[in-house]
Structure formats: C-alpha cells, structure tokens
C-alpha cells in the first residue's frame, strides 16, 4: 500500500469510527457490532504505525493514550480560572439574590446548574481542532495535561465548525459506575481504595502515563465559555445558557439539568430539585451554581478581588440517609483493640454505596443507644468515612437487641480487657500471637505511609500467612520469587514485582520504620520527629524517658510507650533481625531546620508544581508541623486547585491563606 492509499483509507476509517462512536456513546443506538468497530480501530492503528506522517491530531487512536511523560509542563491561563463564593443556607442565597436585584434590577435572570464534584480544566481549540488543555492550578498557572485529556471520549477532538479560536472550561469527573468498578478491581488486587470519585478523577488526570488515564474512563461536562467567538458571522450570545446551547451544537457535552430562573423562589426551587435528584446523576455533585444569566449584567455587576460578584455556589449540607443496622462485626486491630463495625442495609450516600460504618467503641454505642435491628441515620464524615449519627427509637418494633462487646477475642479466643489508658477507653486482646493482630501489623508495616511496599495489601498478607511463607515482618525480607509464585492470583510477574517492592523498602530509613513498627501512640508525624532527633536505632535503644519527652510534641504517654517498646527483648530481636536482613535503621532525612518551628500548616487542593506530600516534607524538614484539619491554632493554609471545605473554614476563622508561590517566597526569603 502506498502512502497516498494509506492516507485515503485512514481518512475513511476515522470518519466511520467517529460516526459509530457517536451512535454508541452518545445516542446509545449502535449500527455495527463491537467486533466490527474493533477491527476498524485496529486497522487504523496499524496504518498510523506504518505511516506515522498520516496520523492527525484528532485521530480516534489518541483516545487510548500515547507515550508516558517525565513531568507536566506549566500552563499559564490567558483568562483566569477563578473560584466562586460559597453560600451554605437559603438565607445566604436570598441575601445574594437581593443584592443582585438592587444592583441590576428585580427582573434579573439567573442560570442554575449542578456543581460537579470533579477537576476543573480549560480546553483550547484552533481552527476547530483541540490543541491544548490544562488543569486549573491556582487559577492563573496550571499543568498541561493535553495527552490525558485526549483520552476522554466526551471531549471533541474536532468541532462541528472550524472556529478560529475557542477556549472553554469544564469539569472532568469519574462516573459513579466507573468509580465503583475501579474500586472493586483495586480491592481484589489488595490496593488502597479511592476515597471518592473526585479524588479518583484528579489522580487519573494527573497520571504521567496517558494509557493509565485512558483506562480510567473519565468524562467531562463543559460549563463555561472562557474566550473566543462562538460564531463566524458576527453574532454573539446574550446569555450564559445561550452560550451552552451553542457549545452543544459545536460538539461539546455541556452541564446538564440547567435552567433559567428569576427570583428567589424559582432559584431555590431548582436547587432543591437538584438536591432531591442528585442520586440519579452519573456524576457526584456537591452543590448548585447560581450565576447571573445575562452577560451584559455580569459586566455591570463586576468582579470582586478573588471571586465574581455575579455568582455563588450553594453548598448542600452533608447528605444523611436512613437505613437498617443488620448486624455488628468485631475487627481486631494491629494493637489488639476490638472495634465494632456496623453492617447496614446498603444505601447510596454522597456518591458511593455504603454497607458498613464504624461504631468506634462500646461507649459510643451505649451513649447513642444503638441496637441491632435499629433504623439508623448515616452520613459520611468529611464526605469520606461512613458513620452512624444516631438511632431512631420511635421506629423500633420490639425485635431490636442491645449490643455487648465480646468477652473473648473473636480472632484467637483469648480473654479481652477494658483498657482505660493511653488510647482512651478500649476493649483489647492482649495475646501478642493473635492472628488478626499479626495480619494487620504486617499490612500496616507495608502501607503507603510506612514502608510503602506496593502490592502487599491485606489479601496478599493473608495469602502469605496462610501458606506459612511468613510469620512476622522480618520474614518479608526472606521471601523469594519462587516462594510467592503459585499462590492464589500470584503469577511470576506479580511475584517478581512484590519481591522487588520489598527489596526497595529496605532504604526507607528510620523515619518510616518507626511508624511501620506500630508502636502505640507513634503516628507518622511523631515518628519523623523522633527519627529526626535520635538519628539511629542504637540511640533509641539507649534513650530513656527524659530523652523522649524532650522531643517536640512527645508527651508522657508516648514516651512511656517508646521506653517499653525498646526495652522489650522480643522487639529488639525483631529489630536486630531486620538490620541483618539489610533494612536501613538510620534516619535518611536531614536534621530539622528551624524556619517553620512552631508553625502549623494545613494543605488543601492540588498544588501547581508539587504534590501535597512533597510540600509536607518541605514543611517538616524546616521544623514545621502539618495538620489535617483547620483550627484557630493553624498558622497557614496552603491552598491549591479545587480547594474545598478546609479553605472555607480557614476564611471563616481568619487563618492566613497562601498559595504555592507565596510558600516558595517564604522559603527563598529565609
């Protein structure tokens, strides 16, 4: 086949594939079989591989992802991608509408649409062809994620009309169905689950390998025209909703369930409607966006210093649902604590199906009079962790049963005790050989914040224990490929990857090892502080109570736990064995600086050029502390793209908010 013949055939195949893709993905009315479609796609791929020069930027084959990148390049937005002021009640919404009426007239029309819980991006088209796309970043500078965006099927690679220039803004999201399927696959593989669809979408879009992004099946809804002309004959849209209708004509998938409304009653009614029907949407939504619809009036009303005056985001209160408490399971943690977990009649809540929720401890259950068989109210704490708020006694039928903690460990059968010190009131199994404790201790040892052994999740740990391949954490470092290969779902490649990951974990250093050991009261932050001061395992062996309490943020209870741990002959034998097997037991980080001494930072959103983990390391190396929640004691909130409730709380408390640029200036100035 000549180059010209290949080019002609490729053009024919592209047209057929685009036509049939639209029928399949948008109209749900395919005309050909999946096999015929796949054969056309394969033929086009082979032609483009044989004749690379005939491949076009809008070829359907770019959807499957291309070469992996070393890093994302920075992208400066020509139109700032700003955020909106949040309102949390209908009273605040009414106040906003009254202000607009006073400024622009009682007849002012508003657009009301879902606030999609995803990742905001800009898309740029030249001569009707998609050429570049970027994340929001800090609103002014984002990351060029063009190759990953090309893999999203709802982004048109070529518009229906060859407009000279167009820039639109949309929200990339992971459909609820895809999110559930992805977590099922990750759970089966022993990988950590994504907390929610938004986190999954953000992580997927920022994969350096676009093939991974393609496999995540992301979608987008476009919700704004940023820049450019929608028509070539001089016409222009008068309202926001007209621009969205025109973007639909050009091939975009725009934000759904939108409406135009005048006055508080009509606006609040549609917000309530969206809230009532949020479960029916393919995407997660965390609110409704209310904007002045008439574009001229937007100009009249103007912009604030950081947000437009003509728009707000109404945020729904945390979603609560009623369901039935069917039974209670007891889980034995790595420190022997027995934790009751509720089994619920499955209920859809904040974007995921919830069938289990923590009950914390016996005191929590008793104080709330929660009984097996009760109708209970469930919500997600911070939109992530399911929790039971209360029971509904008036719905009891008489068959409900009070719950009692067991007297014997459900894992090993040893008697349990009531532990009132250290970690608070808890029921604890004191048998150090308890299988449940062993399994969870090894799982914790391998977790991301600890030794970070990729592929060593709970299911794989159980496989290794059941097969007698390991008895404790030190045994991990004796595993060979042939020991792992042949276990359930563990082929040769999986075995090689696991053994390599275990070998790589040897160099994590004392900071990670201390946390991985599961010493009571020693979390990630405390482990880093201790390692930063003690530096070596030998120093830890020789340290006394006074040495430990002299370390920042180490109190009497933690110091006592440390002394007891390192005084144990059994623990010393384990640590000595780890040393013999090549595990690094010296601190790998530099000694802490004093630049941020006494300062507490909270990180939120996606930063333009570094991960939050990288930012945390910089803060800690300079003597600062990183917290997961905002309070009056917080010194700074370091906010990036799509910052959420933490940013709102910081504003309410008057906590100083900085972006990545200001953070770097703090480092440079000192």
Residues classed as catalytic = 115
Contact present, 167 and 122 (Cβ < 8 Å): yes
CA distances from 57 to 7, 126, 157 (A): 14, 12, 8
Whole-angstrom distance, CA of residue 458 vs CA of residue 463: 9
Contact present, 490 and 463 (Cβ < 8 Å): yes
Q: How many Å separate Cα 566 from the centre of its chain? A: 37
CA distances from 296 to 48, 237, 293, 310 (A): 48, 10, 9, 11
Nearest to 637 by CA among 622, 623, 524, 652: 652
With 0-12 / 13-18 / 19 or more C-beta atoms within 10 angstroms meaning exposed / middle / buried, residue 393 is exposed
Write the CB contacts of 568 (distance below 8 Å, at least 6 apart in sequence): none
Convert 531-550 to b/e letters by CB count within 10 Å (16 or more is b): bbbbeebebbeebeeebbee
Whole-angstrom distance, CA of residue 207 vs CA of residue 373: 45
Write the CB contacts of 612 (distance below 8 Å, at least 6 apart in sequence): 603, 606, 640
Whole-angstrom distance, CA of residue 110 vs CA of residue 113: 10
CA distances from 382 to 195, 319, 387 (A): 11, 11, 10
Please list the residues that pair with 37 across neighbouring strands.
Answer: none
Contact present, 414 and 408 (Cβ < 8 Å): yes
Q: How many CA atoms lie within 13 A of 355 on its CB side?
A: 3
Whole-angstrom distance, CA of residue 31 vs CA of residue 230: 32
Q: Between β-strands 600-604 and 636-639, what pairing exists: parallel, antiparallel or unpaired?
A: parallel
Q: What is the CA radius of gyration of the chain?
A: 28
Angle, CA 337 vertex, CA 335 and CA 341 arms, to 5°: 130
């Amino acid at each position: 086949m000549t180059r010209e013949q290949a080019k002609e055939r490729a053009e024919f195949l592209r047209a057929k594939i685009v036509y049939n893709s639209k029928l399949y993905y948008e109209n749900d009315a395919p005309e050909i079989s999946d096999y015929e479609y796949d054969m056309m796609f394969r033929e086009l791929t082979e032609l483009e591989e044989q004749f690379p020069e005939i491949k076009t930027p809008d070829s359907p084959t770019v959807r499957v992802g291309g070469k992996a990148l070393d890093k994302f390049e920075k992208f400066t937005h020509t139109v700032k991608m700003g955020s909106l002021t949040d309102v949390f009640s209908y009273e605040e919404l009414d106040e906003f509408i009254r202000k607009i009426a006073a400024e622009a007239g009682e007849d002012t029309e508003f657009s009301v649409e879902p606030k999609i819980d995803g990742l905001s991006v800009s898309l740029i088209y030249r001569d009707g062809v998609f050429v570049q796309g970027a994340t929001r970043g800090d609103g002014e500078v984002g990351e060029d994620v063009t190759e990953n965006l090309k893999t999203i099927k709802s982004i048109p690679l070529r518009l229906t009309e060859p407009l000279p220039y167009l820039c639109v803004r949309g929200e990339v999201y992971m459909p609820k169905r895809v999110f559930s399927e992805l977590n099922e696959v990750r759970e089966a593989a022993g990988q950590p689950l994504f907390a929610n669809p938004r986190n999954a979408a953000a992580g997927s879009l920022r994969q350096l390998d676009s093939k991974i992004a393609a496999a995540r099946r992301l979608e987008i809804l476009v919700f704004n025209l940023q820049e450019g002309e929608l028509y070539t004959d001089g016409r222009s849209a008068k309202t926001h909703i007209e621009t969205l209708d025109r973007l639909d004509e050009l091939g975009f998938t725009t934000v759904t369930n939108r409406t135009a409304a005048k006055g508080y009653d009509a606006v609040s009614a549609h917000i309530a409607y969206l809230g009532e029907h949020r479960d029916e949407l393919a995407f997660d939504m965390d609110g409704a966006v209310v904007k002045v619809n008439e574009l001229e009036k937007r100009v009249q009303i103007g912009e604030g210093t950081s947000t437009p005056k003509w728009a707000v985001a109404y945020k729904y209160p945390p979603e609560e649902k009623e369901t039935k408490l069917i039974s209670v399971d007891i889980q034995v943690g790595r420190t022997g604590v027995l934790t009751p977990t509720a089994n619920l009649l499955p209920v859809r809540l904040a974007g995921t199906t919830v069938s289990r929720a923590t009950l914390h401890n016996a005191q929590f259950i008793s104080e709330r009079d929660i009984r097996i068989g009760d109708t209970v109210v469930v919500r997600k704490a911070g939109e992530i962790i399911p929790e039971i708020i209360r029971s509904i006694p008036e719905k009891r039928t008489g068959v409900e049963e009070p719950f009692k903690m067991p007297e014997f460990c459900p894992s090993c059968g040893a008697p349990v005790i009531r532990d009132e010190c250290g970690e608070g009131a808890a029921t604890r199994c004191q048998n150090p050989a308890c299988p449940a404790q062993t399994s969870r201790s090894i799982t914790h040892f391998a977790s991301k914040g600890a030794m970070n052994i990729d592929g060593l999740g709970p299911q794989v740990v159980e496989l290794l224990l059941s097969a007698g391949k390991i008895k404790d954490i030190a045994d991990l470092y004796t595993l060979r490929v042939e020991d792992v290969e042949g276990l359930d779902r563990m082929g040769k490649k999986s075995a090689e990857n696991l053994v390599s990951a275990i070998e790589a974990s040897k160099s994590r250093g004392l900071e990670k090892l201390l946390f991985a050991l599961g010493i009571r009261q020693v979390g990630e932050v405390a482990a880093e502080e201790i390692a930063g001061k003690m530096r070596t395992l030998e120093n830890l062996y020789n340290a006394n109570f006074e040495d430990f309490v002299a370390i920042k943020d180490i109190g009497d209870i933690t110091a006592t736990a440390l002394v007891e741990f390192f005084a144990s002959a059994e623990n010393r034998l384990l640590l000595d064995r780890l040393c013999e097997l090549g595990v690094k037991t010296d601190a790998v980080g530099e000694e802490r600086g004093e630049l941020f001494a006494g300062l507490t930072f909270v990180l939120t959103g996606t930063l333009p050029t570094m991960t939050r983990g990288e930012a945390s390391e910089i803060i800690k190396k300079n003597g600062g502390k990183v917290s997961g929640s905002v309070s009056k004691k917080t010194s700074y909130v370091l906010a990036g793209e799509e910052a959420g409730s933490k940013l709102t709380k910081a504003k309410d408390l008057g906590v100083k908010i900085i972006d990545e640029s200001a953070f770097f200036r703090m480092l440079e100035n000192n």
